[in-house]
Structure 1
Amino acid sequence: MTALQIVLSVVALVVAIWLVVLIVRDLEPDDYLYGALGLLEIGLVAQLVIGLVMVSGDHGGVNVAAYVGYLVASLVVLPAAFLWSVGERTRAGTGVLLVAVIVVPVLFLRLHQLWGAR
């Protein structure tokens, strides 16, 4: 895993804990949480750029389509969850954000597996 993926995974973990607290307390996400999600998304854009540069060079047999697919999925999952969450202002909407934030590090693990298979 790259250092950026580790940092983004830690940020995702912190946001996940924050979301669990909101769910338990039955509170809606606030601007600070949305700001944290925005920072995470900016990091995911950087990850996409780095990943695309990596596969454009010597990628040693990595399945490029799958690798790029996981990069794009990691970028799309948070905005999709955000839109769902904004439309569903209950614990369920906050739960959707929680699932999306947990999915990001899982996608990073899959990226690592794909890159390691080369």
Structure 2
Amino acid sequence: MIDALGYVTIAAALVLAAWGGIAAKRDRAPDRWLFGATGVVFALVAVQAVIALAGMIGGHDLDAPLFLGYLATEFLLLPAAVVLARMEPTRYGSAILAAGGLVIAPLVLRLLQIWALS
């Protein structure tokens, strides 16, 4: 895994969380810009996941079940949040996307920690 990319992903996820939280507080449904920001964070997550899987295949020794569990959760979380936010086109849809960003940040941090410990 690339540490710098991980930290950029964490920062982007926190920006997404703040943006979604502000939109929910202002009683705004998620708009295409918020969904676009979610897509950007997901793209960062996907790139990091591909790099991590390549590193694992390349022989990086780590606790594979734990790492893959975090990686799968990280990879599936934002698409699920987008589906739920589209089903709920109110302020709660924005809150769902904000919650997704809040969960992604510590997941990425934990993945970086697991990678560094091995």
| TM-score relative to the length of structure 2 | 0.89
Letter in 2 for 1:28: A
Contact 1:47–1:71 (CA under 8 A) maintained in structure 2: no
- 2:13 is aligned with 1:12: yes
**8 A Cα contact 1:51 1:68, kept in partner:** no
Structure 1 letter corresponding to 2:74: S
* Preserved CA contact (<8 Å) 1:81 1:96: yes
- 2:104 corresponds to which letter in structure 1? V
Q: CA RMSD in A?
A: 1.5
* Partner residue in 2 for 1:103: 103
Q: 1:115 and 1:44 mapped to 2: Cα distance?
A: 15
Q: Is the 8 A contact 2:14 2:102 kept in 1?
A: yes
Structure 2: distance between partners of 1:25 and 1:77: 24
TM-score by length of 1: 0.89
Count of equivalent residues: 117
Unmatched runs of 5 consecutive residues or more in structure 1:
none
Q: Deviations for 1:75-114, whole angstroms, at most 9, x for unmatched residues?
A: 1100101111111122322222111111111111221232
2-structure distance, mates of 1:32, 1:39: 10
User: What are the Cα deviations for residues 41-81 of structure 1, in whole angstroms up to 9, with x where unaligned?
Assistant: 11111011111112123323x11122122112111100101
Question: Does 1 or 2 have the higher relative contact order (CA < 8 Å, sep 6+)?
Answer: 2
**Taking every aligned residue pair, what percent have the same amino acid on both sides?**
35
Look up the SS of the partner of 1:46 in the other structure. Answer: helix
